[in-house]
């Protein structure tokens, strides 16, 4: 099953979903109507992208390229969070593996 869509313009590319035949082909759908089908994903994606650009332009929706600085900021944010989570998991693992003698890892008070 595969589905990619732009809801604002009613465009999708689908394979084996409830909206299109389950024939192994990739279907480009506009407003619920199959307008293109292909055995290969690359051919269907080419048609999908072409239609997407035309439909977005006709709808007056501006397509802006991603801001490189914003992309870098999001990547840094992701990797910072990933580092924190990894360190947290490492600490939990270390604490879980602590060995203790008689009475556990806290010792026995006399």
Looking at residue 7, what is its pLDDT? 93
Q: By the 8 A CB rule, do 25 and 39 touch?
A: yes
pTM of the model: 0.59
Concatenating the DSSP letter of every residue in 8-44 gives GGTEEEEESSTTS--SS-EEEEETTEEEEEESSHHHH
21: left (phi over 0), alpha (psi -120 to 50) or beta: beta
Task: Please report, in tens digits, the pLDDT of each residue of the chain (110 residues total).
Answer: 999 999 999 999 999 999 999 999 999 999 999 999 999 999 999 999 999 999 998 888 887 788 899 999 999 999 999 998 898 888 888 877 776 666 666 656 65
Where exactly are the structural domains of the chain?
A: 2-59, 66-97
Tokens representing 86 are: 């990894």
CA-CA distance, 54 to 51, in Å (whole number)?
A: 5
């Amino acid at each position: 099953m595969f589905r990619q869509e732009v809801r604002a313009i009613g465009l999708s590319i689908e394979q084996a979903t409830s909206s299109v035949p389950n024939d192994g082909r990739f279907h480009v759908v506009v407003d619920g109507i199959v307008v293109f089908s292909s055995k290969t994903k690359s051919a269907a994606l080419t048609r999908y992208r072409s239609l997407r650009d035309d439909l977005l332009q006709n709808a007056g929706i501006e397509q802006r390229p991603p801001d490189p600085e914003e992309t870098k900021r999001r990547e840094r944010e992701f990797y910072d969070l990933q580092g924190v989570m990894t360190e947290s998991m490492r600490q939990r693992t270390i604490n879980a593996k602590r060995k203790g003698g008689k009475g556990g890892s806290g010792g026995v008070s006399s």
